[in-house]
Structure 1
């Protein structure tokens, strides 16, 4: 297995998975990461032709993806539940129609060739910056508000949290990450066409978030790396049926680790057991695990309000 090319694809997919996680962290099941990535990816080809450095083009991709996602969020956030998910899925389908028909910008069905200008260390740097940002956001006022909105939007609204604003911020964050991922993927692939950012990408990244863990920012990165590298590893040992083996392994992981590989509640329980030095029953951590987050949905809003008062706002 050629490690470096596989690692590069894993880094690109990690940003798309983080994009899906950013929306999911506020209770939005969005499949629109492919659409945002496509807009930024095709625009990056023209920006690179102008001679702009790659990192500057990535920054432009972040701005383009975030701007498009904010515009899209205006009508989409009026929907709820599966209707919202279907709307984002429709957005991916609409984007492909535009790619096929706006040939002056996208090359149409023939696609566009991309001259590679990125290095592996630049990809690592971008993903590391995204991970650092999520680590900072997790304990911030926005992170606490997003966690509360995800658990119960009605309770959050009743306690003074602006649910629409929090979700719109999450969509902007999702679009920005997808835009950066779209630029990176175009540069790594060397060619982009109508199917480069199609439905399979959105569903794969959603599966990566579920597999890695939807309750911590590290989960999507781990899930994206596994989804990228596992088929390549199996191909070294199996001449046939590696896709079946890949599916079986993923199903087993989901059965025995339903909250994903990265689960703060599980890690907290293991740490508590190690400190006590004895095996006890699961107790309160299991109750928290059933609620979908290690934080309590009732105390979080008061923490947010307390922070606002303490800050003099």
Structure 2
């Protein structure tokens, strides 16, 4: 792989990491949702229209797009959050399909089937790394907050969470809002890197790829989606030359192996804590084991 191809792949790995964090934001509250793909599409086309046609400044158009993504997350939560888990997941997939239909028909704003051009001002490493740092910082701060603890309780058992005076729907509503903001930012950056978006730019394959990245990296820590997205984006490109057309087969097999033997993903904080505790126990046992000199020493020798 050439250096240019590697850098381009890393750029889209960063965008996929934002999408994966958006899926993780709702998944942490116990909701499997592919709606971030829809949020990304809405924000990306809004960014392209406001920055390209209306003439807003690029930073202001970015703020408008991210804010609209968060608003769409709130509206989505109000409409579908009462559904059961599998019905809710199907509803979010339907949103992605509906989004494609809207993109094709809203020709004045989206360009219709031919798509539209998008300003590439945000397609730089500075904007991408800065957004990833901000997103990771926010997710890390939320992890140890009251919201993070409540989200963990809702994910494990909503009924038990209710007995602890935690409202599952309120927590899931906040998760959808965060997911909408992150998904909107990811869609804007992808559009800015591509400088072109069309009906197939934000489709179901993007949702399944980023969901696989969350599973690969680990859905129990905010760093898991980032690591999974980078690995899942780089691996097919690295395997393409030696494996040819079988690169996706190898990637799928590796994903299945990781799911079987590492069900909590590559980033498993609990596994690391267990390994540390075992290491400490071994160290304590080694210190408590008497040495050969201690064994040979008798009470008589000590008194003499």
**Distance apart, 1:252 and its partner CA:** 1.8
What is residue 128 of structure 1 aligned with on the other side? 133
For the pair 1:117 / 2:95, whether they are aligned, the reply is no
Equivalent residues of 1:57, 1:183 under 8 A apart: no
**Alignment equivalent of 1:260, drawn from 255, 262, 265:** 265
Larger radius of gyration: 2
Using the TM superposition, give the Cα deviation of residue 46 of structure 1 relative to its aligned residue in structure 2, in angstroms.
Answer: 1.7
Which consecutive residues of structure 2, in runs of 5 or more, have no partner in the other structure?
286-304
Q: In 1, distance between residues paired with 2:230 and 2:98? A: 29
What secondary structure is seen at the aligned counterpart in 1 of 2:244?
A: coil
Q: 1:192 aligns with which of 192, 197, 206?
A: 197
Higher helix share: 2
Which segments of 5 or more consecutive residues in structure 1 lack a partner in the other structure? 281-313
Pair 1:16 & 2:19 matched: yes
Q: 1: CA distance between counterparts of 2:25 and 2:276? A: 27
Cross-structure match for 2:290: none
Question: Are positions 1:174 and 2:179 aligned together?
Answer: yes
Query: Secondary structure at 2:82's aligned position in 1?
Result: coil
C-alpha separation in 2, matches of 1:279 and 1:48: 63
TM-score by structure 1 length?
Answer: 0.86
Distance 1:108 1:70 in 2: 27
Within the candidate set 86, 91, 97, 1:82 is matched to 86
TM superposition shift of 1:111? 0.4
Residue 310 of structure 1: aligned partner: none
- For residues 31-110 of structure 1, what are the structure 2 equivalents within 5 Å? 31-49=34-52, 50-110=54-114
Q: Deviations over 1:141-199 (max 9, x none)?
A: 11011111111111111221122111100000000000000100101112111111111
**Greater shift in the superposed pair: 235-244 or 100-109:** 235-244
Q: Is this contact kept in 2: 1:58–1:184, CA < 8 A?
A: no
- Provide the aligned C-alpha RMSD in A: 1.6
- TM-superposition CA deviations, 1:230-259 (whole Å, max 9, x none): 011112323342222222222222222111
Aligned to 2:291: none
1:229 counterpart (227, 234, 241): 234
Q: Which residue, 246, 250, 273 being the options, matches 1:245?
A: 250
Name 2:9's counterpart in structure 1: 6
1:61 deviates by 2.0
How many correspondences in the alignment? 280
